A and B are shown apart, each in its own frame.
Chain A
């Protein structure tokens, strides 16, 4: 079995995760975790939809921010995809998408304050980077033949409009619609840093133990996501996009002097600002590295590796839940519901909830990341098994799982897992804001202490770490010849 490179790679990663578990801080520290969990479930089955009048407004804002952010991101991403073949553009896009929406929001909050633009740009910028990459991949895979037949002298724009766009239209639309769903999740969690979306009220309700209020918000959020195919119609989309900017709320006026100050003073490292020269700067840098960046990187990497393997294990356990090769319709329906909830709950919200219930350690983060990402991969693999035809005399039960299905889907399972590696790391870093000592913790601390120079250095380090893992993930996928489609 170890002759297969995919199996060898899997065991190497498993070993790294087990080693990570030995040094990681994994513990349940609350006295009564199960009692709280019970209260939470009770809250979800007894939702209180009338607690805050703000609830519907928050829902509306969540949708509005998602629409405007994703629309702007897709337009900019589209423009970037046209010039994506140039290396500087590719690097730029890799950079902007390696910074999480919440970090972008934290940056914009410092100079735009609570203006709607903060939330819009926090979604639009990283999404533009992702759109640019995926759109350009779609264009690359389009049929080159019609373009070859055009009369010479056809302008590039005409050629593009007549040959590329119609050919790619369906894929572009499908992917953009899929991203809109991701945008809803991003929009919801922006509330955690103070924007007027769902996360704002969710955080308030949870921290006060108002589980029925929080339950109502979660239920409404699931309904919103699950019914998207019903209300997001291609015909209505232009109307939504045009109307959405009017539903972002007032916020506060932008003062442009703040923008200038942020870029010319706030993020300039303190020693340079104070004229302490190169020696001051190197001491400052050394301090940031030793006391913040290195511990942050270490914890981020350890947590990412554990969460990656946990995600893999959960995906492999979860896909039979919706596979038609096992059991009856009741199990499949409940399996579907479980996976829908797991994957439509943003990992940030899952981690937040579990941290409240189990207390602070890496455990809630690992479980949250594994649930969310395992839900996504489990769903995709489960659907894939449904296209497999087994011979009539195929074994049943465990043998069917391990001898018939697993070998057939293992490669695409690994492809999805390595694709999500970078996503898991980006999320891991951001979970630090909740109090786990990953890079996000140190970024948040720097911002809380009004030290934006440090925050920016740490965000840059986080971005580089993500770009590195992304490159490594792609290298491994190429080495193992794994192909995948983008997920978010």
Chain B
């Protein structure tokens, strides 16, 4: 795709893919920056894996163009693109030892025996597989196989590393460990990483930018905090984590943002209301809401009744119902939850104006 050792810059222009009558990917345009760690996030069937396969060259797009460092690579076969790729289930060569697996891309490139030996040795050290060189993949644990897959995909210094749900088969503690390791590898190699996952916390934790997919469409791209705090639509808001949705009426622009009526009380939002007027949805993350003893004029707030609580250790999750019947979940300190439940379950819910954001009513 590019000279070895140099991170690639990829540009997708109006990429679409149909499988028969199924539209897997629709008019996708996306710039992937040099050395960036981009996550493609979405539920299964959202098109994220199809896009990764198009990047790798395993799937030919029905329309659109793909550029790598400004060169059109839309019709270039996979073996000439040579993006490093880590597959779901790793796809190691079962008949080759760890060493042979990692040496494979170098042998294909006809490197000298001495160079292969040296680079494979370095890579084995880097991913912590020393002492396992002669083993077959079947003799390794899931985490070790994962490391072999990473080493094999990085050893030839590809301009871009593509990862298809690489951690889906690992247990939770190993996952965390491998995530940290992948972040380190990204920093060390400086290569462009494109990572597919359906796990939103993984996406937020690892990437420099997240691209969220649904039904074959790219819905939003942005830094993890951007997409989490300012989702473009309801799907993104809900997919990235638990969120409370309250109907607001009569939204209009105001000083520093917008204002409207929520449960018959005036509420202020710090977001712009240009696109949204009239009725809308006010979305607030559970950790951004708190419980106050009584109403305050200067603060956003509504009355609610606590109906259930779930002890989570560090905090308590409290389920509440508002006067108008909306369901709300908040995450509050354990003693606050206990106090709320003890005083007749009736509480006052508040949130800072800058934490709530508006989404179009009813729409996605």
A binds B: no
- Which B residues contact A (CB, under 8 angstroms)? none
- Which A residues contact B (CB, under 8 angstroms)? none
